[in-house]
Amino acid sequence: MDDVWIRALVALPFGLVVGSFMTVAVARMPKGESVVRPRSRCPSCGAEIGARDNVPVISWVLLRGKCRRCGARISVEYPLLELGTAGLVVLAAVRYPNPWQAVLVGGLLAMMPAIALIDIRHRIIPNRLTYPALLIFPPLIVLAWLVDDATDPVRALVGMLLYGGILFVVAIISRGMGMGDVKLAGAMGLYLGLSIVPALLAAFLSGSVVGLFIIAREGAAGRKMAIPFGVFLALGGIVGVLVGPELIDVYRDNFLE
C-alpha cells in the first residue's frame, strides 16, 4: 500500500505539468498556433501570465479564478483539465507498478481529456497530438521490451494495425468518421493490444447511447447531427488500458469455459 502512495505522489506533479501543457494545446492547436510561443496570456487583456500565476491549479485558486492584471474571469476549465489529466496519470501509476508501463499508459491517458475537448469544440483530432504519439510510442515500447521486458512489441504492432484498421474500414463505410479518429485508434492500439476489444466496445456503446439520446431529443434533425466520436474513443481508451485485461478475463471465465 505504501508503494502505491509513493507512485501516486510521484506521478501527481508530472500529471499536473502535462495537464497545464494540455490547456495550451486545447486553446492553440485547433488554430494552428505554436504551443511554445508566445507565452500564455490573459484572453481578455492580453497580459502575459508570469511564472507565479502559471502553477497548475494552485495559481487559479490563489487568484480566485481571475486575471491578476484586469480581474477578468479565468475559466474553471483550466484547473479541471489539469486535474483530470493528472488524475489519469496517477491512475496509470497506481494501476501499473512497472515504471515503463506506467509511463507509456500515463502518456496515452494524458492526451485523452484534451482530445475529447478539442473534438467536442472543433470536430477535429489534431495531427500534432496523434503523430507524436505514433512516432514516440513505438521506440519507447521497444526500449521497454529490451531493458525490462515490460512490453511486447509484436502485440503493440498488432494492436495498432487492428484498431487503426477497424476504424479505417468504419470511416470508409460510414463516411461519418474522420481520419483523425483512425490515427488516434492506431496510437491507442500500440499499447492496448488485445484490450482493443473492450476499448472498442466501450467507445461504440457509449457513442450509440449518446446518439440515440440526441435522436430521441431532436427527432429527425438529430439523425443529421455530427457526433464527435473522438470523445468516445478517448473513453474507450481509458477503459481499455485501466480495466481491459480484467474485462477480457471475465469474458473468458464466464463464456469460454
Give per-residue pLDDT as tens, 143-186.
999 998 888 999 999 999 999 998 999 888 876 678 889 999 99
Q: Is residue 55 part of a domain?
A: yes
Number of CB atoms found within 10 A of residue 182's CB: 23
Q: What is the pLDDT of residue 256?
A: 64
Q: Is residue 148 part of a domain?
A: yes
Cα(213)–Cα(6) distance, integer angstroms: 42
Q: Is residue 109 part of a domain?
A: no
Among left, alpha and beta (phi > 0; psi -120 to 50; other), residue 151 is: beta
Per-residue pLDDT of 182-204, as tens digits, reads 999 999 999 887 788 899 999 99
Cα(119)–Cα(26) distance, integer angstroms: 10
**Domain of residue 159, residue span:** 124-257
Per-residue pLDDT of 164-174, as tens digits, reads 998 999 888 87
| Residue 43 DSSP label | T
Q: Is residue 240 part of a domain?
A: yes
Q: In the listed set 56, 77, 95, which residue is the last one of a domain according to the structure?
A: 95
Place of cell 481491459: 244
Alpha carbon 37 to its chain's center: 23
pTM of the model: 0.90
